[in-house]
Amino acid sequence: MEISDIVKSGIGEIWVVCEGISRLSRNTLGLLSKARDLSNQAGKKMGVVLFAQPPVNSIWNLLTKYGVDNLYLFEDIAFSRIDEEIQSELLTRLVKKHNPEVLLLNATTQGRVIAARTASLLKTGLTADCTDLSIDSDGFLIQTRPAFGDRVLANIICPNSIPQMATVRPGSFVNSEIPMKHKIKLVLCPAEFSSSKIKILKTLFRGENTENLFDAEIVLAGGMGLGSQEAFLRLEKLARRLKVPVAATRAAVNEGFAPYDKQVGQSGQTIRPYLYIACGISGAVQHLAGIHGAKRIVAVNTDRHAPIFSHADYGVIMDCNEFIKRLEKSFFNE
């Protein structure tokens, strides 16, 4: 059977690989919500692959709220941490047995590795870091991602092989549960694997959780206009006092003004705060891709013609460092 016939027939399932050890990550919940919409739209079943250590009751309960039809469960105490090589081998075996049509993963560091290895093992296409997904009239998965260097987005398809694989940029989809619990069919999968080749000698958890950017009502963000690391630290201090998170553009991260985990935009994260305040940000398409879901965007920039102003609700033409000073003064009387 041709691939085009398979995708039209609706026999294959749409799969999501869950991420999370004892609870599902927020990214996974957004991805599950999107996959359910795609499954409904295409009239296909939705499958979920979960690597977990027992017990999985709480995750199971949560999954019933996302319209999951089949749960493919690998249960083992070894899954208290993610080993990309083991997961990609088990996933490859499972895919070969069940032939899902679509396979979606989170574009986190480890999700990307699992996806890249699995796609190569399966000899199929993989699109990195998608910001949107849809199904076209022929039943193919349309994978949308910003294209390089241009102000354009590209729609990518994988027309000659299944599964059609994509990793999805964290925060791309809104988490939405269904009103009624959905019955899940459990498929227990044999967790047979050889021990990990890579040895973890030490793990240092960083105190701050980057996920708080997702939940924030207000985000204060800085770009190249800040001009220095000191200026970013000042912005960060202000943000801390206002109890809001701080974010940075890739350019600012590359210049060393801000650490990587604060980066928003392509290969960073997507956020949807109520209020986004862009300080000294020019508005590269990669950055806009990460913030366009914000309810209100305020831009502060010296350049009247910076692209950020065509994507903002309110604009002030001034030096962002001066702006930060004014905020400090107004809130803390300094």
Partner 1 sequence: MRIAVCMKQVPDISVKGSYDKKYTIDRNKGAFITNPADEIALETALFIAENVLAEISVFTMGSTRAEQLLKDACALGADKFYLISDPLFAGSDTYATSHILSTALRKYGPFDCVLCGRRTLDGETGQVSGGISVMLDMPLVTNVVGIEAIKHDSIICSRFLEDRDEIIEVPLPSVMAVMEGMSGITHPRLPSILGLRKALSVPIELLNCKSLELTENEVGLTGSYTKVKNTFFPDWSRKCVFFSDVYDGVSQIIELIKKTNDI
Q: Which of residues 25-84 bind partner 1 (CB under 8 A)?
A: 84
Q: Which of 5, 54, 148, 332 binds partner 1 (CB under 8 A)?
A: 148
Does residue 137 bind partner 1 (CB under 8 A)? no
Helical segments of 216-313, H only: 229-242, 250-254, 285-291
Residues 6+ apart with CB under 8 A from 124: 158, 161, 162, 163, 164, 165
* Omega before 55 within 30 of 0, i.e. cis: yes
**Contact call for residue 246 and partner 1 (CB under 8 A):** no
Query: Whose Cβ is closer to partner 1: residue 46's or residue 224's?
Result: 224
The nearest distance, CB 198 to partner 1, in angstroms, is: 6
Distance CA 294, CA 289 (A): 11
| Residue of 41, 61, 161, 228 that binds partner 1 (CB under 8 A) | 161
Q: Name the one range near partner 1 by CB under 8 A: 35-43, 54-62, 145-153, 178-186.
A: 145-153
Contact status: 328 vs partner 1 (CB under 8 A)? no
Contact status: 14 vs partner 1 (CB under 8 A): no
Dist. CA 308–CA 302, nearest whole Å? 11
For the chain, the distance separating the N- and C-terminal CA atoms, rounded to the nearest angstrom, is 72
Between residue 187 and residue 206, which ones bind partner 1 under the rule CB under 8 A? 197-206
233 near partner 1 (CB under 8 A): no
Return the range that interacts with partner 1 (CB under 8 A); candidates 28-36, 47-55, 174-182, 315-323: 315-323
- 210: tokens are 């980057």
| Binding residue (CB under 8 A) for partner 1 from 12, 125, 139, 222 | 125
- Contact between 332 and partner 1 by CB under 8 A: the answer reads no
Euclidean distance between CA atoms 164 and 66, whole angstroms: 21
Query: CA 59, 188, 168 angle in degrees (round to 5)?
Result: 55
What is the C-alpha separation between 248 and 229, in angstroms, rounded?
11
* Signed CA dihedral, 61, 62, 68, 73: sign only: negative
Min. distance of Cβ 266 from partner 1 in angstroms? 6
Residue 240: CB minimum distance to partner 1, A: 14
* Residue 223 and residue 278 in contact, taking contact as beta carbons nearer than 8 Å: yes
Cβ atoms 74, 189 nearer than 8 A: yes
Which is nearer to partner 1, 61 or 254 (by Cβ)? 254
| Nearest of 326, 312, 249, 310 to residue 275 by alpha carbon | 312
Tokens 């201090």 -> residue: 237
Q: Of these, 9, 22, 41, 209, which contacts partner 1 (CB under 8 A)?
A: 209
Q: Which of 5, 96, 154, 174 binds partner 1 (CB under 8 A)?
A: 154
List the x/- string, 77-116, binding to partner 1 by CB under 8 A. Answer: -------xx----------------------xxx-xx-xx
278 is an interface residue for partner 1 by CB under 8 A? no
Of 81 and 181, which has the nearer Cβ to partner 1? 81
